[in-house]
Amino acid sequence: MLRLFVQLAATATRLADRLANALRSACRPSVAGGAVADLTRSRAELIAENAFLRQQLIVASRGAKRPVFRGRERGLLVLLASLLPRWRNALLLVKPETVLRWHRAGFRLLWRRKPRSAGPCEPRLGPDVIALIQRMAAENRLWGAERIRGELWKLGIRVAKRTVQRYMRGARPPSTHRGQSWATFLRNHTVWACDFLQTYDIWFRPVFAFFIVDVNTRRVVHVAVTRAPTWQWTAQQLRNATPFWQGPRFLLRDRDDKFGPVFDRVARGAGMRVVRTAVQAPLMNSVCERFLGSVRRECLDHMIILSETHLQRVLAEYALRYFNSARPHQGIGQRIPVPGERVRAGSGSVTALPVLGGLHHDYRAAA
């Protein structure tokens, strides 16, 4: 019985509201109809609507072609609109979307001026701590904000997790994956990289040079030259580079058709895993590409190749003797890939050994 009474009361309330709305809509165009519709409204609602209309009348009476609401008038209009259930019907000078925009702007202004916390503010971090957070984020891609926060606590630096998150965003660019970088992967494994270099002899006939380079030490492992690089020839060069079937863990190569399935089969037989670079991603094989650029700039651009044998001799002297044993490299801290015994030279006790007929020189301490 009680449930039935509650349902009847709710139904009667909904019918009364619909009847009042229909009465207001039908009677609003006339003065008499508006008076009849106002009989269903409370006194507080009528006072608020009068103030709402009076404020618009004050703005419209200024005589401007396009009435402009001042800041206080906008706030008053927003306040009166919050007291009127049907304030849209009493809005004449501006659109309802404009009043809603004023309301959002007022909230932004309120929370901008309101202090975030009533207690004492936390002191700002020093630039050295900020630099340390960014350094940890850049050097450790697997670490999150909580891990970096724990590392800072270990050093006696107390910061919040949100603070760490705010400063680590600038040091770590957004990416779709988490994990180590490609450079870190190469440093953690023994990796060889191989590639072809095409040049031309004195008769403008193409000649191909094949190189295998150790990515970590920058040492040139193997050099070979041919005019027709077939699958069998390329696979044989890999056999020559691994005479005892002992190679690195990974062998990096591009998607050139000169390698073929025979090359991959020989690599797997030597215990190597072939990693092919992605399409249009030369930076995956950047060490070998950088080496090929050095071969062109420092050697081939200054030579006229007479024959295949001539190119083999030139590249062997440059790559296997000079590049491996005498040339410092920026990528490994100005060290030499195959370091030998070097005596520290004093003033005036340095001798120069010519390389490639004096194109380069190897400077050593005189005995």
Tens digit of each residue's pLDDT (9 = 90 or more) over 210-244: 999 999 889 999 999 999 999 999 999 999 999 88
Residue-level pLDDT at 84 = 77
Residue-level pLDDT at 276 = 94
DSSP symbol at 77: H
Mean pLDDT of 249-267: 94
Residue-level pLDDT at 216 = 87
Do 218 and 332 touch, CB atoms closer than 8 A? yes
Look-up of token digits 């932004």: 108
**If you count DSSP H runs as helices and E runs as strands, how many of each does the chain have, helices first?**
14, 7
CA distances for 333 relative to 140, 182, 185, 191, 319, angstroms: 21, 19, 19, 19, 19
Binning pLDDT at 50, 70 and 90, where does residue 254 land? very high
Binning pLDDT at 50, 70 and 90, where does residue 122 land? low
- CA separation for the pair 31, 97 (Å, rounded): 28
Binning pLDDT at 50, 70 and 90, where does residue 344 land? low
Mean pLDDT of 203-216: 95
Binning pLDDT at 50, 70 and 90, where does residue 177 land? low
CA distances for 19 relative to 13, 31, 86, 195, angstroms: 10, 19, 16, 85
Residue-level pLDDT at 57 = 78
- The CB density around residue 69, as the number of other CB atoms within 10 Å, is 18
Tokens coding 318: 């440059």
* pTM value > 0.85: no
Sign of CA dihedral 330, 332, 338, 344: positive
Residue 90 in this model has a pLDDT that exceeds 80: no
* CA 300-301-307 angle, 5° bins: 45
Do 225 and 315 touch, CB atoms closer than 8 A? yes
- CA separation for the pair 96, 80 (Å, rounded): 13
Q: Which of 19-23, 128-132, 157-161, 242-246 has the lowest mean pLDDT?
A: 19-23
DSSP symbol at 335: B
